[in-house]
Amino acid sequence: MQFKRSVFFLFVVVLALSVPLVGAQDAQVIKIASQSPLSGPQSVLGTSIRNAVELAIEQLSGPLTEMGYSVEFVPFDDQATPDVGVANANLLVNDAAIMAVIGHLNSGVAIPSSEVYNDNNLVMVSPANTNIAITDRGLPVVNRICGRDDTQGAAGAAFAASLEGVESVYVLHDTTAYGQGVADFFQKAAAEEGLTVLGFEGTTETANFEGVIQPILALDPDLIYFGGIYSQTGIFINQARAAGYEGLYMGPDGFDSSEFAELAGDAGVNTYYTTVAAPPTFYPAAAQFIEDYTAKFGEPPQPFAAQAYDSTGIVLAAIQSVLESGEELTREAVAAAVRATENYEGMTGTYTFDDNGDPELATYVILQVGSSDPAEWSNNAVLADFQAPSPLAAAAEATPSS
Amino acid sequence: MAANSVRQTPWTTVRATLKRPVVAGAMLIFYIVAAVVILSSLDRGNLWFPFYSTLLFPTLILSPFFVLAAPVQGWFKGVLVVVLLFVAIPYLGMRDTSYLELVIQICIFAGLALGLNIVVGFAGLLDLGYIAFFAVGAYMWAMFTSGAPTVFNINGWLVPETAFYIFIIFGIIVAAIVGILLGLPVLRLRGDYLAIVTLGFGEMIRVIANNLDQPINFTNGSQGLFDVGRPPIPFFMRDGVLTAERMLGLSITNVEPLSQQLLFYFIAIGIVAIIIMVARRLDNSPIGRAWTAIREDEVAAIAMGVPLVRMKLMAFAMGASFAGAIGVIYGAKQTFVSPESFSLIQSISILAMVIVGGMGGIRGALLGAVIVTLLNLLVLKNLSLQINALRNVDFIVPIINFRIQNWPSQLEPAKYERLIFGLLLILMMIFRPAGLLPEPRRRMELAQKKEEEAILGEGASPAADVLNDQPTVTARPDAEQA
Amino acid sequence: MLDAGRSSLGSVSARSVLGWVYRFILFPIGQMLVFIVGAALVLTLLSYLLALLFPEPRPNISLMTQVNRQLPGMIVSGITIGFVYAMIALGYTLVYGVLKFINFAHSEIFMFGSVVGFEVMQRLAEGGNLPGWSPVLLVAFVVLAAMLASGLLAVLIERVAYRPLRGAPRLVPLISAIGVSFFMIDVVRAFQAITRNDFNLTYPLNNLEWIRNPVKLAIGEATVNIRPTQFIVVLGAVVTLIALNYFVNGTKLGRGIRAVSQDMATAGLMGINVNRMISLTFFVGGAFGGAAGALFGMNVGTVTPFVGFIPGIKAFTAAVLGGIGNITGALLGGLTLGLIESFLNGLLVYFPVLGQRYTDVFAFSVLILILIFRPSGLLGERVDEKV
């Protein structure tokens, strides 16, 4: 009783204190949210996405400011965990001023969170999610500007098959939606390319891979493909080399972080990886971005930062077009305008969304790690790059319009 | 508040006035109304919004506990709680669905905490894998209604969504069966051995859910089951929302999701109400007394003729069935079920809820669920949002002249949930080891311990007490036996 | 190990040096050898049995050949991780022996040891003279620093979070321990975030020539690379385990700990300072956790503030497997679990549908099976209840 009454009085005081806050909203604020892991093993990539969105809002919101709106940035930390992402989503959809979300990094987080966005017509543009289920669900609010795992996995397999002396592969994944998804596509395509798939294994181990490595040593594959993210794969590669594995390594875009070089050390040099987001240095138009980003945040941008910048640009342009058309600025209108984006000239490419929210043409790049020095990461050699249409765009091309 | 003096001071007069039912009732009404009005008119555009919603929302959600403890008549308490649950919170939810979402989450965790309370609090069986039963319920519903390419998804033909309510019952039955199956092999174990084995079971269920996409795709593995079915919105729910919108002059843009959320809200409080009733009945039944006997002294319980095996299995099955029912709701609400949601950390935080609230008591478990969930989902997140909002306007803390922009982003509060949570657990255990609302019997036990300790002196007491579950007379002083 | 010591409660000096050497050096080493050889032998036989039952579990793969190739590698990696588990399990078991509660925060003491090991090495590397150190001295220095830091941390945790709860029901300190565990993870994380702005902490081993050259062994069809760090882990574990055996069974302080663990009240009445003995137990257990952390960190190369969780759970499993509260049991449990895991990892790959993803499921199944038949673990004594 004693405890409760004192707490009760405390609460009454709180009530009284907050009366002055009741007031009307300033309608001239537009907020853009980002969701990415800002803490935990993948925070290097997540923070870079967050920073790039902040930079984009700062640099690209000029037209909106002239119209009398102020654009604010609200970053969220999804901790690379589905439950946290959904909780954040439920929180941010209730801020009526938030007009768009840029994110996520992890497909496993983006899929459940986007259901919440969809319920509330809030548009999401993803710079990094490659899982096919992201857009294949056909949600009107979900868009991405990067490629897809089916194409990425197949491209990796085709490249692996073209390498001299590679006849057998061993496929590992991290048992997440992303890692297992892309590894599965690689495995299937590799078998079609005539490679022998010696194993397809998932592991949640993050530190000690000795047990995982033993059967690999005995099977002695020419190449190990690890569908996972650098914080896990880098350590694995380091240990596998030390344990005596002498073949090649390959991975998906989850390898793409300068932290990989640090974790994998010398063992990581010459590792191949495919990516849907080429490093900023790959794009001539991104030179200014790299310079600005480095000046503002004190370190060079990580992969996906340039894509996050472009995603924000697409959203801002869509909001601007809604305002210019004289329509009321609603989330539905912004979502429709984003989906209708045509030939948006970003620094990482020209983007047009298909009906599922995939970019009609996505760039895929195959790179090779050149050095164990993290500072040299952006100088990794580009071995191949090509553009591939999204499934919808490909289907549209295949059936001539009647 | 033991009034050990009868002196008349102004303070005692005030207290006496407050204890009068009329005054207390009026204060409660004022309190709830004020909280709802202020919360619903707080403005998200306001710089200090996160801070104030963090302060205010808990005051509203915790009000039932004040109502129940207030010196007013029973029917009045009932009316207040009903008004709060059926008018105040839905109204607030229409203004801002994130509050509704929070209350649904609280209900989900409250149901889980009540279920675990049966296993740990009533029967004294330490279960560290409780989340597994929750997973069973969630997968139960999700497997049959997900749009993911599972074996049950035959060309898009799925279990119709109207079957949701039947599936809650299925969830109860299946989870209870799983509870018994898991309970059987571990009956002989006790204490810490039981803890590690249940922990193992919890992990096994998760691993199996993660891998049952081969050879036959049951769970869609790590990809998770997306596009899970939701119970159909009854027409009166939608109509109700529209009527409320007209009457209250609100402008609701998303009627469909709001009705959906409201439906889940009512289902969730309904289930929690049923769970509370069942738990109360159990507590005061021969079964409940048998559990208490097992918890207090297993050997003595056997000697007194308590059917140990049956009672332990019953506790496992009961606790599991609650989690199963809640799991079905969770699966439908989340529309996405993946193994990552059922980790050991979840089991531990449910255990923490039970213990923070007060083990063995129903009110305690509820309070624990409310506090821990609010802390995780509201308080810490809002602190981060607040810091970010202040950073956006380049706020400078007066007096100490600290620029919020200089606050390192590595130190955002939301990143350190565990730190605050951990600290809270430690402090709770040190200062209120029986929980915030201790169950009377527990309180008696603790008082007894203190006495014992006083007799023995420091250093000698632990041996007598740490063996609480396995009483060995050797270490106990005769004083206690007397 | 306790068993050997029981007879040596009398004064050591009176006995011959040979007896001392036998009791405190040869006997524990022999015990470890018996455990390792025994567990490895049983698992090897099971592997060959499996190979006979399923000669070709997947097309074009002969299980027999694979077992032949992998056997030495699986045993070596199993022993390495087994010793790490055993060292962590000792911390659980020592504390359990004295206070009868699971110190859930022990996994974070292990993590702390690995992070301290990283900090020490990183500081040395930043000083620029890391390659100049002699290997033995460097490893000893890093491990001792981690032991000291973790031991002190364990004592501090006991003082702050457990001692005020001595009289409470047994779930209360357990929850407090979980709280400490959460708290520690985030404190270390915050510290690393501020000082290094980094999460993955990589030991600066790349410029140490001696640590990068593995020893190649060829046994029949199999070649196995034994890394120097694996030697270090095993050697470090053996040395510290012998030291622990001597400490517990051969010194006066050790006798005090044993007395307290057998009967705290009586020990107190006999003039033993129970609180000091409990602190000492935490120090020793924590130091072991710290040593395990540093050795583990050197072996795997990269640690994070979350690194303690999985080894902690596994080591706890090992302690229960061996019989919690029993020091020899922790050793047996750790080595057995390490080897079981290594064999499962090595062989499940060849079975379609199963795979390494089920390693933990099988490992836990083994634990449950053992506990069904021996509810107090392999070496645990059946505690009969007196009413």
The answer to whether the Cβ–Cβ distance between C172 and B429 falls below 8 Å is yes
Of the listed ranges A173-177, A308-312, B183-187, the least confidently predicted one is: B183-187
Mean pLDDT score, C191-220:
81
Residue pLDDT, tens place only, B185-204:
877 777 777 888 888 889 88
Would an 8 Å CB–CB cutoff place B228 in contact with chain C? no
Task: Identify the three-state secondary structure at position A144.
Answer: strand
DSSP string, C6-42: HGGGS-STTS-HHHHHIIIIIHHHHHHHHHHHHHHHH
Chain A hits for C357, CB-CB cut-off 8 Å, are: 175, 201-203
Residue C387 has pLDDT above 60, yes or no: no
Could you tell me the pLDDT band of residue B460, with boundaries at 50, 70 and 90? very low
pLDDT of residue B442: 59
Would an 8 Å CB–CB cutoff place A85 in contact with chain B? no
Q: Delineate the domains of chain B, giving CATH numbers in brackets.
A: 23-95 (no CATH), 104-373+430-438 (1.10.3470), 441-481 (no CATH)
pLDDT of residue A67: 87
Of the listed ranges A127-136, B23-32, B272-281, the least confidently predicted one is: B23-32
What is the C-alpha separation between C145 and B244, in angstroms, rounded? 67
Q: Which of B12, B65, B101, B204 to mutate to test the interface with A (most CBs of A within 10 A)?
A: B101
The answer to whether the Cβ–Cβ distance between A111 and B224 falls below 8 Å is yes
Would an 8 Å CB–CB cutoff place A1 in contact with chain B? yes
Is the Cβ–Cβ distance between B453 and B461 less than 8 Å?
yes
Cβ atoms < 10 Å from Cβ of B476:
17
C 341-360 → B contacts, CB under 8 A: 352-353, 355, 357-358, 360
Residue B305 has pLDDT above 50, yes or no: yes
Of the listed ranges A367-381, B324-338, B379-393, the least confidently predicted one is: B379-393
Domain covering A150-275+364-393 in this structure, CATH number? 3.40.50.2300
pLDDT of residue A68: 85
Choose the most confident range, by mean pLDDT, from A74-78, B328-332, C261-265: B328-332
The CA–CA distances, whole Å, from A367 to A237, A281, B326 equal 17, 12, 48
The answer to whether the Cβ–Cβ distance between A262 and C73 falls below 8 Å is no
Residue C197 has pLDDT above 80, yes or no: no
Of the listed ranges A12-16, B278-282, C206-210, C237-241, the least confidently predicted one is: A12-16
Fold match flag (A29-147+284-359 vs A150-275+364-393): yes
The answer to whether the Cβ–Cβ distance between A242 and C300 falls below 8 Å is no
pLDDT of residue B119: 92
Q: Nearest by CB to B462, from C264, C364, C372: name it.
A: C264
Residue pLDDT, tens place only, A228-283:
989 899 999 999 988 889 899 999 998 988 889 989 988 999 999 998 877 777 78
Residue B139 has pLDDT above 90, yes or no: yes
What is the C-alpha separation between C279 and C264, in angstroms, rounded? 14
pLDDT of residue B299: 85
Residue A111 has pLDDT above 60, yes or no: yes
Q: What percent of chain A has pLDDT over 70?
A: 93
User: From its phi and psi, is residue B399 left (phi > 0), alpha (psi between -120 and 50) or beta?
Assistant: left
Chain C hits for B477, CB-CB cut-off 8 Å, are: 265
What is C2-373's CATH number, 3.30.70, 1.10.3470, 2.60.120, 3.40.50?
A: 1.10.3470
Question: Which residue from B minimizes the CA distance to C164?
Answer: B430
Would an 8 Å CB–CB cutoff place B41 in contact with chain A? yes
Nearest CA of chain B to the CA of C191: how many Å? 10
What is the C-alpha separation between C244 and C141, in angstroms, rounded? 18
Q: Which of C74, C202, C211 to mutate to test the interface with A (most CBs of A within 10 A)?
A: C202
**pLDDT top residue among B142 and B11:** B142
Residue A387 has pLDDT above 80, yes or no: yes
Nearest CA of chain B to the CA of A8: how many Å? 7
Chains touching chain B through at least 3 C-beta pairs below 8 angstroms are A, C
Could you tell me the pLDDT band of residue C386, with boundaries at 50, 70 and 90? very low
**Facing residues of A389 across strands?**
A361
What is the C-alpha separation between B136 and B323, in angstroms, rounded? 8
- Is residue A152 exposed (0-12), middle (13-18) or buried (19+ Cβ within 10 Å)? buried
pLDDT of residue B377: 84
Residue C125 has pLDDT above 80, yes or no: yes
Could you tell me the pLDDT band of residue B453, with boundaries at 50, 70 and 90? low
The answer to whether the Cβ–Cβ distance between B461 and C273 falls below 8 Å is no
Could you tell me the pLDDT band of residue B464, with boundaries at 50, 70 and 90? very low
pLDDT of residue B238: 83
pLDDT of residue A20: 59
pLDDT of residue B461: 39
Closest CA to B202 of B224, B186, B218, B189: B186
The answer to whether the Cβ–Cβ distance between A39 and C189 falls below 8 Å is yes
Would an 8 Å CB–CB cutoff place A298 in contact with chain C? no
Mean pLDDT score, C141-170:
91
For chain C, domain boundaries: 2-373
Residue B452 has pLDDT above 70, yes or no: no
Residue pLDDT, tens place only, C174-196:
888 989 999 999 999 889 888 88
Residue pLDDT, tens place only, C272-289:
889 999 999 999 999 999
Residue pLDDT, tens place only, A209-226:
988 999 998 888 999 999
A 216-245 → C contacts, CB under 8 A: 217-219, 231, 234-235, 238-239, 242-244
Chain A hits for C69, CB-CB cut-off 8 Å, are: 217-218
Tokens (6 digits) for B148: 């993911």
**pLDDT top residue among C119 and C126:** C119
CATH superfamily of A29-147+284-359: Response regulator (3.40.50.2300)
Cβ atoms < 10 Å from Cβ of A357:
28
Would an 8 Å CB–CB cutoff place B467 in contact with chain C? yes
Residue pLDDT, tens place only, B308-333:
889 999 999 999 999 999 999 999 99
For chain A, domain boundaries: 29-147+284-359, 150-275+364-393
Question: Which residue from A minimizes the CA distance to B224?
Answer: A177
Q: Nearest by CB to A201, from C193, C341, C355: name it.
A: C355
Q: What percent of chain B has pLDDT over 90?
A: 22
A127: number of CA atoms within 13 Å, CB side?
35
Q: Note the helical H segments in C272-382.
A: 274-300, 309-322, 327-348, 359-373
Question: Which residue from A minimizes the CA distance to C66?
Answer: A218
The 10 Å CB-count burial string (b at 16+, else e) for B271-294 is: bbeebbebbeebbeeebbebbbbb
Would an 8 Å CB–CB cutoff place A373 in contact with chain C? no
Mean pLDDT score, A151-179:
91
Would an 8 Å CB–CB cutoff place B22 in contact with chain C? no
Q: Which residues, 6 or more positions from C210, have their beta carbon under 8 angstroms from its beta carbon?
A: C135, C228
Closest CA to A380 of A288, A292, A251: A251
Q: Nearest by CB to B422, from C169, C181, C265: name it.
A: C181
Nearest CA of chain C to the CA of B286: how many Å? 24
Q: Nearest by CB to A211, from C216, C303, C346: name it.
A: C346
pLDDT of residue C116: 96
Of the listed ranges A133-142, B85-94, C206-215, C362-371, the least confidently predicted one is: C206-215
pLDDT of residue A57: 93
Nearest CA of chain B to the CA of C119: how many Å? 19
The answer to whether the Cβ–Cβ distance between C307 and A234 falls below 8 Å is no
A77 phi, psi to nearest 5 deg: -105, 110
Is the Cβ–Cβ distance between B271 and B106 less than 8 Å?
no
pTM metric for this prediction = 0.87
Could you tell me the pLDDT band of residue C367, with boundaries at 50, 70 and 90? confident
Q: What is the mean pLDDT of chain C?
A: 86
Residue pLDDT, tens place only, B61-78:
888 888 888 788 888 888
